[in-house]
Amino acid sequence: MAHSPAASAAHPAPIVTLTVNPALDVSTSTEAVQPEHKMRCGPSRVDAGGGGVNVSRVIERLGGHSTAIYAVGGATGQAYRQLLEAEGIIGRAIAIEGSTRENITIDETSTGQQFRFVLQGPTVSEAEWQQCVSATEAAMHLGGYVVPSGSLAPGVPDDFYARIARRARELGVRCVVDASGAALAEVVAEGVYLVKPSGRELGELLGAPTLTIDEKIEAARELVGRGRVEVVALTLGGDGAVLVTADSVTRLASPPITVRSTVGAGDSFLAALVLRLAQGHDLAAAFRAGVAAGVATATTEATELCHRDVVEQFERDLAAAATA
Ligand SMILES: Nc1ncnc2c1ncn2[C@@H]1O[C@H](COP(=O)(O)OP(=O)(O)OP(=O)(O)O)[C@@H](O)[C@H]1O
Ligand SMILES: [Mg+2]
């Protein structure tokens, strides 16, 4: 990689996120989810969601900045854009013909269970996804980070993130990917700085959905050992996370918390990890920040994301535990 300027909290490396299949996240609650009856719902809230955009939103909440590239269309797309702008997210909206999807999260108050309906999303044409690639490339800077994250919309090729990863490498930018299925397989084959699979996603990648945690860690080590992926940040929900590099395996347990909703936990993990790296922290500290933000988001209701003071407290606790 070419020489890159030293990053610090005062002069962080630039971060660009990419979301090709964003969604308006509608969340509400009802007493019991049941067929046929009308289910009267409580108050609802609407958030601009989707992998990369959520990463940008959490970075902003933690006091950092990023550029969000996202594809939107239709009336829902307009609402989406306005919500993001109201949150102070700087970015570039790529206009698409189809209408931005809505995802629905229902909290069932009688049981505490959560139901998440994830819609497929509009088809994105080749010209449209190519524009996303060009806009992302234009926003990448030497020594910076690019974070393509979330599902691929219908019409987008499986190697979409792999294309971004290739350009990032050529431009001296670190590519950090949160993807699943074929998109993850392609990016891992292409080569990338960091991938953040959940335990389930890593199992699927290997065609072995029922691995134990130790087997998943071993699989992550093998992935790094193949030499195409520098870092695997394997997240394990309530079981915490594992960071694997060529010469280290670090496992962190989640601090004990009352879980309210894990929506956005993985995005929060990734956002804090990338922000701390961009601010010049080492991988160990960035990894602690990731766990801190994932846990902090799990303590908030529905689609609500983490709060800065809570994240920073968990970061201090985890740092103290690391040196104890
Ligand atoms: N139940 C939980 N209790 C405590 N922390 C959690 C919980 N769920 C998630 N987290 C935190 O958030 C991080 C990311 O969560 P997780 O591993 O579920 O990833 P994810 O990307 O949200 O999962 P997926 O994409 O499979 O839905 C975890 O490493 C952990 O720090
Ligand atoms: Mg995830």
Which residue's alpha carbon is nearest to atom 8 within ligand 1?
237
Average pLDDT of the segment spanning 262-284: 97
Active site residues: 267
CATH homologous superfamily for 13-32+41-156? Ribokinase (3.40.1190.20)
Residue 160 in tokens: 């979409």
Atom of ligand 1 nearest to the CA of 241: 29
Distance (Å) from CA 266 to ligand 1 centroid: 5
H-helix segments, the chain = 51-61, 74-86, 126-139, 160-171, 181-190, 199-205, 213-225, 265-278, 283-298, 308-323
Ligand 1, atom 9: closest residue by C-alpha: 237
Q: How far is the CA of 40 from the centre of ligand 2 (A)?
A: 30
Q: What would the mean pLDDT of 216-234 be, rounded to a whole number?
A: 96
- Percent of the chain's residues with pLDDT above 90: 90
pLDDT band at 6, cuts 50/70/90? confident
Using a pLDDT cut of 70, give the percent of the chain over it.
98
80 pLDDT higher than 90: yes
**Buried b / exposed e across 208-219, counting CB within 10 Å, b at 16+?**
eeebeeeebbeb
pLDDT-based confidence at residue 2 (cuts at 50, 70, 90): very low
Q: Alpha-carbon dihedral of residues 157, 159, 163, 169, nearest 10 degrees? A: 160
- Chain position carrying tokens 């992302």: 136
Residue 75 has pLDDT above 50, yes or no: yes
Ligand 2: distance of its center to the CA of 195 in Å?
A: 11
pLDDT at 264 over 80: yes
pLDDT at 158 over 90: yes
pLDDT at res. 315:
97
Q: Is the pLDDT of residue 299 over 80?
A: yes
Structure confidence at residue 4 (pLDDT): 55
Q: Ligand 1: list residues with CB < 6 Å.
A: 198, 200-201, 235-238, 240-241, 254, 257, 259, 262, 265-266, 269, 291, 294-295, 298
Question: Closest Cα to atom 16, ligand 1: which residue?
Answer: 237
Closest CA to 250 of 284, 202, 273: 284
Tell me what the mean pLDDT of segment 94-100 comes to: 98
Express each pLDDT in 12-62 by its tens digit.
999 999 999 999 999 999 999 999 999 999 999 999 999 999 999 999 999
Question: Predicted confidence band at 5 (pLDDT cuts at 50, 70, 90)?
Answer: low
The whole-angstrom separation of Cα 148 and Cα 136 is 9
Q: For residue range 180-209, what is the model confidence (pLDDT) as tens digits?
A: 999 999 999 999 999 999 999 999 998 888
Q: Atom 14 in ligand 1: which residue has the minimum CA distance? A: 266
Strands 241-245, 248-252: pairing kind? antiparallel
| Mutation test residue for ligand 1: of 116, 262, 273, 318, the one with most atoms within 8 Å of CB | 262
Structure tokens at 300: 């908030």
